[in-house]
Amino acid sequence: MFMNSNLFEPGKSKLERNFIQSAAKQNTRLDGRKSGDFRDVKLTFGADWGTVIVAIGDTKVLAQVSCDIGTPSSARPNEGTLHLNVSLGGVAYLNESQTTHDQRFLTLNSLLERTFRNSRSLDLESLCVAAEQHVWCVRVDITVLNHDGNLYDASTVAALAALMHFRRPDVTFLDEEIRIYSDKERELIPLLFLHYPVSVTYCLYKSNSHYPYVDPILLEENAADSIIVLSFNSYNELCSLNAGGSTPTKAGIIMQCARNAAKRSKSLVDFLKKALLLDEQRRNNKEPIMEGLVSLLTNKSQTISYNHLMKEDVSDIVMREKQEIPEKVKTEDKPVAVDAEPHKKPSKATPAPINDSAWLPRDKEASPTVVTSSAPTKTNRNKSQRGAGQQKSTQKHSKQQNQSDSEEETKPVIK
């Protein structure tokens, strides 16, 4: 009865690790996703500015931004400060087994620091009120509500969404006197960004180091031998890279992961911008009563899902919601002037492939195999195609962008 079975996370036992390793060998995942498939990202903005709950599958993270006037550091007297704090304890029950908590906690904190602070994503100079005296100190508190894998991505998306959502009060500094205006006196001001970073996580297994799994669940993450976390911004710039573990990995794999992570980051940032636009228009429609996080309990229509949002225009959604509100009030049958609800089945939203990743070095060596569309298992495919690959290698093929992160699935490069 008293065994801490709840605190033993899935993926730590030998049986589970063997299971995941053999599943990785066959390139299958527990929830049926392909190695390059992401889970749906769902955002819910709160009624306060700077509040957001991000849910990636079952992983739920709450982020809250707050700000205060403070004194700057002496090294940078004309910049505001950004402080990121992740707390794993609390409802997530992650800090019970101390060893995993410390490592995970430190990695998470260091990743967020590097992604947001070291890459200078927030324009800190715009937060300066009076050099050497008064600056805005922005603080992001990230609370993990539930951990089902991929905490890195959820935290970066939550932090970025909260920072983009946040509005700070207007302030004036005259004659040595600082005056902060409340939101009734003057409009609140959003924060300024130089770029928008998000991260993508891959995990690798010793049994199959050519197929990194993206967006792992907790079971896959704990059983992984190596974890690669890449942060890209929407301009295809790498903000941070965290690769570690015990699997020998070809550099080509990491480059392929990087290409796909760059694509995914751009579409995630587009999604965030769209979601913020939608939230803003909802606020304009519903003032002064803003539902906020209660919507998680009422009808969940305020939750913005990546799969659904990337298919529609914001204006369509707002129009549809505007017509739904008078429908509820008047209880008449008004024809809703939009197509049917987006179907629930999550399909992978494929943004146009970015072809400007030419700066990424292409693999010089020809990959020995060419993949056919249907293949029984990876090992069989290798053996059967090796002969065919030799014959085809004389032809020139340009490397195409595709969704898989495996080197072997790409066509052979120019020799």
Partner 1 sequence: MNEIATDKGKVPNDKLREMRCEFNPLSRCDGSVMYSQGSTVVIAAVLGPVEVKTQSLSIDGSYLECNYRPKAGLPQVKERIRESVIQDVLELAVLGESYPRSKMSVQIQELEDRGSIDACAVNAACLAMIIGGLPMKYSFAAVQCIINEDGEYILDPDQRETLHQRASFTFAFDSLEGDLLLVQTKGSFKIAQFNDIECLCRSASANIFQFYRDNIAKYHGRKSSPTSDVKEMETET
Chain contacts with partner 1 (rule: CB under 8 A): 1-4, 6-7, 9, 46-48, 51, 53, 58, 60, 62, 64-66, 85, 87, 89-93, 139, 141, 143, 145-148, 291-294, 296-298
CB-nearer residue toward partner 1: 65 or 203:
65
C-alpha angle 79/82/87, rounded to 5°?
165
| Least separation in angstroms between CB 6 and partner 1 | 6
Q: Of 119, 334, 310, 313, which is closest to residue 231 (Cα–Cα)?
A: 119
CB-nearer residue toward partner 1: 63 or 268:
63
| Least separation in angstroms between CB 45 and partner 1 | 11
Q: Name the helix (H) or strand (E) containing 271.
A: helix 251-286
CB-nearer residue toward partner 1: 46 or 412:
46
Percent of residues in the chain assigned helix, strand, coil, to nearest 5: 35, 25, 45
Q: How many residues does the chain have?
A: 415
Residue 415 contacts residue 366 (beta carbons within 8 Å) = yes
CB-nearer residue toward partner 1: 141 or 170:
141
Token output for 176: 């040595």
Place of tokens 């999604």: 271
| Least separation in angstroms between CB 182 and partner 1 | 13
CB-nearer residue toward partner 1: 215 or 291:
291
| Least separation in angstroms between CB 52 and partner 1 | 11
| Least separation in angstroms between CB 215 and partner 1 | 17
DSSP designation for 88: -
Q: Of 63, 58, 29, 60, which is closest to residue 46 (Cα–Cα)?
A: 63
Dihedral sign from CA coordinates of 158, 161, 164, 165: negative
Token output for 282: 């909802």
| Least separation in angstroms between CB 37 and partner 1 | 20
| Least separation in angstroms between CB 382 and partner 1 | 38
Nearest-10 crossing angle of helices 151-165, 98-112:
40
Token output for 207: 């049994």
CB-nearer residue toward partner 1: 92 or 349:
92
CB-nearer residue toward partner 1: 90 or 326:
90
Residue 228 contacts residue 242 (beta carbons within 8 Å) = yes
